[in-house]
Amino acid sequence: MKKNIYFNHDGSVDDLTSLFLLLQMDNVNVTGVSVIPADSYLEPAMMASRKIIDRFGHGINLAVAASNSRGKNPFPQDWRMHAFYVEALPLLNESGKVVIPLANKPAHFHLIDTLRVTEGKTTLLFTGPLTDLARALDIDPTIEEKIERLVWMGGTFREEGNVEEPEHDGTAEWNVFWDPEAAARVWASGIEIVLVALESTNQVPLTLEVRQSWAKERKFIGVDFLGQCYAIVPPLVHFTTNSTYFLWDVLTTAFIGKSDLVKMQTVNSIVITEGVSQGRTVATDVGRPVHVVYDVDRDAFFDYITDLAKRV
């Protein structure tokens, strides 16, 4: 039995490679895709998504929905530029046309409609902020019944997050920080939440060794695509900086296809929405339970995604 997956992403390099990998999983039925312009600009992220589905979707029939959501704390502009570089890759532009259409509704309505018309329950895969889900829940809370669970790249229970911004203490992860209220809204729902948090994504940095392994196998068009995408962003070399790239969203997506790559534990938690720690997820007895992915078999993860890329 294939799992129904609705994918909402925010157009960064690992969001777009996640879309590519999701389309290669034989145990997944992708029911919808939408794009929120958080860690990207909307136009290139939409175009890149449609071109990836055209090129690597094995003929799947989908329309991509654009979000009209806005966040509270914007991403740095140079990170948001990455989608322009992916969209322009010759590998995605060979045909000279874009076939996959735009959906005729904004992402949060598209999500509601897709959940309603899909038989059975759907797993939500979110690799950007939760704004579209929060808005969908406000409009129609009954969609909760149609949601199997939410798998989200977001949050951390470590002291150190990955936000380095003025007027912030650095304890938040970016996808929560962009729209903390949205995360709090989803926490207030009854939806089961799996958090692929920095605890595990910190274990899968982009390294020169990883890049080299893809370069070596670039005769496979899908592995070449991974290599081209991860040529755009800075690897971990001597030490972690604010711009060092990890495979945050790709790990989250790999969890969908192969959950035994990781270890999980349940934590009661809340989301801080105000002040210098806004966007921080805090473990506390009074919070709601979330399943936190805190460990990953790194080698098995890289083997899995490279094998998926060879299925093109």
Closest distance to Ca ion from the beta carbon of 69 (Å):
14
Residues 27-86 that bind ligand AGV (CB under 6 A): 39, 79
- Cα 48–chain centre separation: 15
Q: Which is nearer to Ca ion, 15 or 199 (CB)?
A: 15
What residue 177 binds from Ca ion, ligand AGV, none (CB within 5 to 8 A, per partner kind)? none
Determine if 17 is a binding residue for ligand AGV (CB under 6 A): no
Report the first-to-last Cα separation within the chain, whole angstroms.
22
Q: Among 37, 44, 57, 128, indicate the residue that binds Ca ion (CB under 5 A).
A: 128
Length of the chain: 312
Give 3's strand partners: 28
Of 117, 118, 178, 175, nearest in space to 151 by CA: 175
Q: Where are the alpha helices (DSSP H) in the chain?
A: 13-22, 42-56, 77-80, 82-87, 107-117, 131-139, 174-178, 180-187, 198-201, 208-216, 221-229, 248-257, 298-309
Q: Please pick, from the candidates 56, 245, 301, 304, the single residue that binds ligand AGV as defined by CB under 6 A.
A: 245
Distance CA 277, CA 3 (A): 36
Contact between 67 and Ca ion by CB under 5 A: the answer reads no
- CA atoms of 103 and 106, how far apart (whole Å): 8
Name the binder of 87 from ligand AGV, Ca ion, none, CB < 5-8 A by kind.
none
Q: How far is the CB of 122 from Ca ion (least distance, A)?
A: 20
Q: Does 127 bind Ca ion (CB under 5 A)?
A: yes
Q: State whether residue 242 is helix, strand or coil.
A: coil
Quote the CA–CA distance of 56 and 96 in Å, as a whole number. Answer: 15
14 vs 113, which CB is nearer to Ca ion? Answer: 14
Give residues 239-258 in contact with Ca ion (rule: CB under 5 A). Answer: 249
Stretch that binds Ca ion, among 98-106, 127-135, 225-233, 275-283 (CB under 5 A): 127-135
User: In 6-39, which positions are buried (b, 16+ CB within 10 angstroms) versus exposed (e)?
Assistant: bbbbbbbbbbbbbbbbbbbbeebebbbbbbbbbb
Q: Which of 152, 187, 225, 248 binds ligand AGV (CB under 6 A)?
A: 248
Interstrand relation of 122-126 and 3-9 (parallel, antiparallel or unpaired): parallel
* Binding residues with ligand AGV: total (CB under 6 A): 17
| 245 binds, options ligand AGV, Ca ion, none, Cβ within 5 to 8 A by partner type | ligand AGV
Token match 């991860």: residue?
230
Q: Does 243 bind ligand AGV (CB under 6 A)?
A: yes
Q: For residues 251-310, which are near ligand AGV according to CB under 6 A?
A: none
Residues 3-62 interacting with Ca ion (rule: CB under 5 A)? 10, 12, 15
Name the token pair of 171.
């304890």
Which amino acid is it at 50? Answer: R
Q: How far is the CB of 59 from ligand AGV (least distance, A)?
A: 27
Among 4, 8, 12, 114, binds ligand AGV (CB under 6 A): 12
Among residues 7, 152, 174, 225, which is the contact residue for ligand AGV, using CB under 6 A?
A: 174
Q: Is 156 in the site for ligand AGV (CB under 6 A)?
A: no
Instruction: Output 157 or 248, the one with its CB closest to ligand AGV.
Output: 248
**HEC sequence for 113-125:** HHHHHCCCCEEEE
Q: List contacts with Ca ion (CB under 5 A).
A: 10, 12, 15, 127-128, 249
Binding site for ligand AGV (CB under 6 A): 12, 14-15, 39, 79, 127-128, 153, 162, 173-175, 243-245, 248-249
